[in-house]
């Protein structure tokens, strides 16, 4: 287990290093500099600015400094947004994104599990059929289309919720639903498949023979075993949430990381783009690592089979 963990962390560091290197040299290739209104500046002014940002040094030195800064959590200074350090911008904005992502994950997976459970209990019934349809639609329709629909119907037409922006908890409802639809569909599909399989296994027959009540069988023996593999889809789910958050935050004008990224893309603010990208990469990798470890901890069979 320890060896496995070390190996995984090692790979994680290599991956992060590659992404950081890649994004650094990308920044050097791309056009655009901190010099706004470049032609109006004199040579001295330019030199002063370049020195301030450390851009007058040779590229290897800049690269070393950049990596050194990364280790300390320093992502550089934004070209736009009043020269704020990128780290500060991101820390300011991580709250709404984290809250939305968390709400969507919880709401989505709980609803999905309930839906999948109902479908597996009432197999081949209208409930099963409609749950399958919801799952197909939920996995297929892009979250931004869904968000547009929600925004138009519930905010613009009916006026039940605020159209956009951030503040009260009412503001979080529509974006949460829009984000949660995908995890919900995934969880519903997965729970159904797993439950159907688990309910056919021998220990369920044993439990039934012992006279365990049907609720007991489904909740205690069935669902608990069916949910273990659900942890594996948590990773892709979290990744999907991060992708989704970019468009959802943009649509609902939520001051989060995703919205920051899209805005930075539009104004070509490379340090912020790269910083956000690195943060996303870090988030992805850590989440997937945690999920893999969790999986091994929860299901002893995996640990034995893996032998690591």
Partner 1 sequence: MDKNNLNNIPKDLFVPLVRKEDTSDRISTPSRTFFQDAKRTLFNNKPAVFSMILILFIIIMSIVGPWMNSFGSDEQDLKRAKMPPRVPVLENVSWLGMDGTLSGTFQGKDVQQATAKANARFDRKEEFIDIKVINKGDGTRNSAEVKATYHIYEAKDMKDTYFWFGSDALGRDQWTRLWEGTRVSLIIAFVAAVLDLVIGVAYGGISGFYGGRVDNVMQRIAEILVGIPNLVIILLMMLVLKPGIISIVIALSITGWIGMSRIVRGEVLKLKNQEFVLASRTLGTSNGTIIRKHLVPNISGIIIINTMFSVPGAIFFEAFLSFIGLGIVPPDASLGSLIDLGFDNLRLYPYMLVFPAIVISVLMIAFNIVGDGLRDAFDPKMHK
**Chain positions contacting partner 1, by CB under 8 A:** 11-12, 14-15, 18-19, 22-23, 26, 29-30, 136-137, 139-142, 144-145, 148-149, 151-152, 156, 239, 242-243, 246-247, 250-251, 261-262, 265-266, 270, 273, 277, 280-281, 284-285
Q: Which is nearer to partner 1, 98 or 281 (CB)?
A: 281
* Cβ closest to partner 1, residue 12 vs residue 228: 12
Smallest distance from the beta carbon of 202 to partner 1, in angstroms?
Answer: 19
CB 257 within 8 A of CB 276: yes
Q: What is the DSSP letter of 141?
A: S
Torsion of CA 142, 103, 135, 111, to 10 degrees: -160
Nearest approach, Cβ of residue 212 and partner 1 (Å): 30
Burial 201-220 (b: 16+ CB within 10 A, else e): eeebeebeeeeeeeeebbee
Shortest approach of partner 1 to residue 163 CB, angstroms?
8
CB 278 to partner 1: min, Å? 8
Distance CA 306, CA 308 (A): 5
Start-to-end CA span in the chain (Å): 5
Q: Which residues contact 28 (CB under 8 A, 6 or more apart)?
A: 59, 62
Query: Which of residues 54 and 236 has its CB atom nearest to partner 1 in the complex?
Result: 236
CB nearer to partner 1: pick between 61 and 137: 137
Q: Which is nearer to partner 1, 22 or 122 (CB)?
A: 22
Please name the residues in contact with 157: beta carbons below 8 A apart, sequence gap of 6 or more: none
User: CA quadruple 105, 107, 113, 119: dihedral positive or negative?
Assistant: negative
| Smaller CB separation from partner 1, 265 or 293 | 265
Locate tokens 């968390």: which residue?
102
Q: Which helix (H) or strand (E) element contains residue 140?
A: helix 126-140
Q: How far is the CB of 211 from partner 1 (least distance, A)?
A: 32
In the complex, least distance from residue 275 CB atom to partner 1, rounded to whole angstroms? 12
In the complex, the smallest distance separating the C-beta of residue 297 from partner 1, rounded to whole angstroms, is: 21
Query: Rounded distance, CA 52 to CA 35, Å?
Result: 11
| 231 vs 281 by CB, closer to partner 1 | 281
């Amino acid at each position: 287990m320890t060896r496995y963990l070390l190996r995984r962390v090692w790979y994680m560091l290599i991956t992060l290093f590659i992404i950081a290197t890649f994004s650094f040299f990308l920044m050097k290739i791309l056009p655009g500099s901190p010099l706004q209104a470049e032609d109006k500046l004199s040579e001295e002014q330019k030199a002063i600015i370049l020195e301030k940002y450390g851009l007058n040094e040779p590229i290897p030195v800049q690269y070393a400094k950049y990596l050194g800064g990364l280790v300390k959590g320093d992502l550089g200074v934004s070209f736009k947004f009043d020269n704020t350090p990128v780290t500060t911008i991101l820390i300011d904005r991580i709250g709404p994104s984290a809250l939305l992502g968390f709400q969507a994950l919880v709401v989505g997976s709980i609803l999905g599990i309930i839906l999948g459970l109902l479908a597996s209990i009432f197999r081949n019934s209208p409930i099963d059929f409609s749950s399958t349809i919801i799952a197909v639609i939920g996995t297929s329709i892009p979250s931004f289309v869904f968000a547009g629909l929600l925004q138009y119907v519930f905010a613009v037409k009916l006026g039940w919720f605020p159209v956009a922006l951030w503040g009260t908890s009412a503001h979080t409802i529509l974006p949460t639903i829009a984000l949660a639809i995908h995890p919900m569909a995934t969880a519903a599909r997965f729970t159904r498949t797993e439950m159907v399989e688990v309910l056919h296994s021998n220990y369920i027959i044993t439990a039934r023979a012992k006279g365990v009540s049907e609720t007991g069988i489904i909740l205690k023996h069935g669902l608990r075993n069916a949910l273990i593999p659900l942890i594996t889809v948590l990773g892709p789910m979290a990744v999907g949430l991060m992708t989704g958050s970019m468009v959802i935050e943009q649509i609902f004008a939520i001051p989060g990381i995703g919205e920051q990224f899209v805005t930075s893309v539009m104004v070509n603010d490379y340090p912020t783009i790269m910083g956000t990208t690195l943060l996303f990469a870090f988030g992805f990798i850590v989440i997937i690592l945690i999920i893999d470890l969790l999986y091994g901890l929860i299901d002893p069979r995996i640990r034995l089979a893996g032998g690591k």
